[in-house]
Amino acid sequence: MNPAEEPWESPREARTPHDPPLEERDDRRPADPAVAPLLSPGGFGRERPGTPVSAVETGRILVGTASWTDRSLLESGWYPKEASTPAARLAYYASRFPLVEVDSTYYHPPARRTAQAWRDRTPQGFTFNVKAFSLLTHHPTRPDALYRDLREGLGAPTRPLYLKDVGPEVADAVWERFLSALEPLHEAGRLGAILFQFPPWFPAGARERNYVLECARRCRPMRVCVEFRNRTWMEERNRAGTLGFLAANDLPYVCVDMPQGYPSSMPPVLAVTSDLAVLRLHGRSGRWDSGDIRERFGYLYGEAELEELAAGVRTLAENARTTHVITNNCCGDNSQRNAARLAVLTGAYLTPRRDADMAALRSSGLVPPQTPYI
């Protein structure tokens, strides 16, 4: 990729039938890191009894979206027409939110120069969460997503591959190259966490827990956060054990708000297992099982729902140093609209750049002169 070109995220429409069902630290820790007494299933928005938000020291809240280059977002008119270049779009996004989740890295490992471009187009204090490459989370992976030399070394396969299919030598090479590509973000202080979203066929068990630990070990000193899509991890009989395991190993549990009643549904349990809390909002579409991405994610949270979610976010922030909230209802500008409103409702930290930073970007032409400074 030419460094001058946009480090594009793969459009959500470009999925295949083999793709999965849709998706500075300190020593502060929760008082009870194993299971912070937050919310139970179905209880989003319920504050801890007797603990008014105003009476509690609240950690830093960052709100952002899962993508800044989604095709439907570009078509929605959210970007001003002056933000017509790749650099301008990312700079404009970074003037509105301090956090973004990169999901394209799930479909194709990023090139190092792409991460360098992301670094150079964002201000000090901006944060990227990066979704782990599909092969590394036991998802089916298109052969053409593998590095060319590794793919050819496997005999140029044509069917989707799983981690077990490639052998330890190729797996090690994928790990090394994936993490090496993220070093520019990590070294610049722009990398928040690498999101490991495990599939519905990754149940709670000793082998699976060991693999979670392997992922964390391989990524150090970069940090990871963990999202499960198999309900056994958070069934009542396993919940305390799951959260205790994550807390004992300083691994952030990724809380979710998502449609219920589907095979990949996880209950809306809020828990803090590290100094970083993460909440991903997937929407509440009644068509979660649809093959149409717009039906699956085409959900706009209403004001009452956002107020309930904001109460949950504040509860997380009472127990964590930093809380990341990602809106993943990416259809049109739904995600951006909901993220902006949620940031207001939670009192989230919105702008990473100083006035001088914004002035410099405006004078460079990367951000239109009329862009508001939130």
Confidence (pLDDT) at 31: 37
Structural domain containing residue 108: 53-364
**Rounded distance, CA 265 to CA 227, Å?**
12
Mutual orientation of helices 206-219 and 163-187 as an angle, nearest 10°?
40
Confidence (pLDDT) at 374: 35
Strands (E), 52-112: 60-66, 99-102
Question: Considering the domain boundaries, does residue 13 fall inside one?
Answer: no
Q: Kindly give, in sequence order, each residue whose CB lies less than 8 Å from that of residue 220, ignoring residues fewer than 6 positions away.
A: none
Place of tokens 């209880």: 43
**Rounded distance, CA 123 to CA 244, Å?**
36
Confidence (pLDDT) at 285: 74
Across 51-65, 175-189, 281-295, least confident range:
51-65
Question: Considering the domain boundaries, does residue 332 fall inside one?
Answer: yes
Question: Considering the domain boundaries, does residue 38 fall inside one?
Answer: no
- Give the pLDDT band (50/70/90) at residue 362: low
Confidence (pLDDT) at 27: 36
- pLDDT, one tens digit per residue, over 57-95 is 578 999 999 989 988 999 999 999 999 998 999 999 999
Question: Considering the domain boundaries, does residue 213 fall inside one?
Answer: yes
Tell me what the mean pLDDT of segment 123-132 comes to: 96
- Identify the residue with better confidence: 330 or 54: 330
Tell me what the mean pLDDT of segment 229-249 comes to: 96
| Contact yes or no for 306/67 (Cβ under 8 A) | no
- Identify the residue with better confidence: 121 or 289: 121
Give me the CATH number covering residue 342. Answer: 3.20.20.410
Question: Considering the domain boundaries, does residue 342 fall inside one?
Answer: yes
Residue 37 has pLDDT above 80, yes or no: no
Question: Considering the domain boundaries, does residue 1 fall inside one?
Answer: no
Confidence (pLDDT) at 126: 96
**Rounded distance, CA 265 to CA 281, Å?**
12
Helices (H), 121-264: 148-153, 163-187, 206-219, 236-248
Residue 32 has pLDDT above 80, yes or no: no
Question: Considering the domain boundaries, does residue 164 fall inside one?
Answer: yes
Across 94-103, 249-258, 291-300, 355-364, least confident range:
355-364
| Contact yes or no for 25/277 (Cβ under 8 A) | no
Helix (H, G, I), strand (E, B), or coil: what is residue 78?
coil
Question: Considering the domain boundaries, does residue 43 fall inside one?
Answer: no
Total of domains in the chain? 1
Tell me what the mean pLDDT of segment 303-321 comes to: 95
Phi, psi for 72 (deg, rounded to 5): -70, -30
- Give the pLDDT band (50/70/90) at residue 298: confident
Find the helix or strand (DSSP H, E) in which 278 lies: strand 276-281
